[in-house]
Amino acid sequence: MEENAKPLTKYDKACFVLENTNDGDDLSGSELWTVQEAVNGHLNEKGMEEFEKLYVAVKDKNFVPYDKRPFHDIEHLTKDSEGHVYWKGIQVDHYDYDFWGKEGWQEKEKVAAQELAGRCRLAEEHGIKPTTTSIVWKWEKTLAKIQKKEGNHEA
């Protein structure tokens, strides 16, 4: 920054974040809310710290788009802003736990995501491509194929 340059305002930073995150499409809902509330002056000190961290991550090119981050810290599992859940880039389910906002939804979603990832890993280990059909809609059939391959005929 030049000696006489003015420091960036929260508005400048918000515009920069939006311009460099696909007009905000790469932000999670809470990140987008943070930018909005920063501009509107509704954040407390902790909220402004989060806004500043987001700005710095985008500026330093350390920002990872929402739909590229591991979902619930599960390797190979991601979720986009519309709730589509992907295993290695292939859609395998759709979650809307957050939409309904019922108490305990975060934990229920995490448990479901862990089970989903376990199904995907198991299918892959047996040469079956994880898809919504093989992992969700026809899981029992997929599991039966796996058990047959292993010589275990119990379902």
pLDDT tens digit sequence for 51-62: 999 999 999 999
C-alpha–C-alpha distance, residues 68 and 91, integer Å: 13
What's the alpha-carbon Rg for the chain, to the nearest Å? 21
Mean pLDDT over residues 3-29, rounded?
A: 92
Q: What is the mean pLDDT of the chain?
A: 91
15, 85: one domain: no
Q: Which domain holds residue 37?
A: 10-66
Query: Do residues 83 and 55 share a domain?
Result: no
Structure-token pair, residue 96: 């809307």
Distance CA 63, CA 61 (A): 6
My answer on whether 144 and 99 are in the same domain is yes
What does pTM read for this prediction?
Answer: 0.69
Residues 6 or more apart in contact with residue 90 via CB below 8 angstroms: 129, 130, 131
pLDDT of 2 above 70: no
- At residue 99, the pLDDT reads 64
Q: Where a domain ends, among 36, 66, 96?
A: 66
